[in-house]
A = this chain, B = another copy of it.
Amino acid sequence: MRALSRRARSRRESIGFVPTMGALHAGHVSLLERARAGHDRVAASIFVNPLQFGPREDFSRYPRPLERDVRLCRAAGVDWLFLPTARALYPPGSTIRVAPGPLGSRFEGAVRPGHFAGVLTVVLKLLHIVEPDTLVLGQKDAQQAVLVGGMIRDLDLPTRLDVAPTVREADGLALSSRNAYLNPEERARAAGLHTALVAGRAAARAGAREAVKIAAAARIALRLTARPDAVDYLALVDARTLEATRKLDGRRALLIAAIRIGRTRLIDNLVVAR
């Protein structure tokens, strides 16, 4: 992989890179197309990273429709599809990791201990292997995007981060490989997560400034529409740092949320103030 990338670079070709866990959907395809439009070469990876799954999470049942994924990559104009094995990326004795700092233990990290150490470690490894000019990630995983951006800055990586907008179903549900777990009744409720974030944004547009009021508007809509089995978090945060925001003050703010519907965890976010 690195030899291919270096040969392209020596020909002054630019390289865009989209790391994925496979089970590709139109959200991933939009990332691949974005990389395709901006670069001479596009690399993608498919790797269901064991390091970012907790012991009671869905690592083994995570969908792995490899032939379909390969077709989608080819159709989207991917030049190089990197498919490492877990043994190649984590040989016995591999112990050195990336420590994500305080943000790694909040929100997703509070519910999924070790998740972001796993994410940042594998992204750093892939960046060292692929050596792209640009890394393309999706906005749906907002905390991941902020942490990877922080890693690029804090570790002086020579890569630019490009965060692409979330792709949604007609009813607003953010595309996610985990949507495949939902039964029809759960799928209908799942759209309520986006509806709730829109309700929070509507409250802000109607003049609400305090986070508690905006979150309350979202929470009421969430209970009515998604009827979640659990709300892991629902918070108004600074879009750049993901620090909790008490009041809109002119900085770009995001409403972020994670809920459970049945056995499935869903996350989403929406810009409330820009």
Which residues of A approach B to under 8 Å, CB–CB? 2, 10, 89, 93-103, 117, 120-121, 124-125, 128-129, 131, 147, 150-151, 153-158, 241
Residue of B nearest to A159 (CB): B128
| A153 / chain B contacts, CB cutoff of 8 Å | 94
Query: Is there contact, CB below 8 Å, between B98 and A96?
Result: yes
Shortest beta-carbon distance, A109 to chain B, in Å? Answer: 13
Chain B residues positioned under 8 Å from A124 (CB to CB): 155
Instruction: Identify the closest chain B residue to A121 (Cβ).
Output: B155
Cα A97 to Cα B116 in complex, Å, equals: 12
Contact A155 B103 (CB under 8 A): no
Query: Which of B2, B95, B151 is close to A102, meaning CB atoms less than 8 Å apart?
Result: B95
Note all chain B residues with C-beta closer than 8 A to A121.
155
**Do A96 and B2 have beta carbons less than 8 Å apart?**
no
The distance in angstroms between the C-alpha atoms of A101 and B96, with both chains bound, is 5
Question: Would you list 19 pairs from A and B whose C-beta atoms are within 8 A, ordered by A residue?
Answer: A2-B158, A94-B153, A94-B154, A95-B100, A95-B102, A95-B150, A96-B98, A96-B100, A96-B150, A96-B154, A97-B98, A98-B98, A98-B99, A99-B117, A121-B155, A128-B156, A128-B157, A128-B158, A129-B156
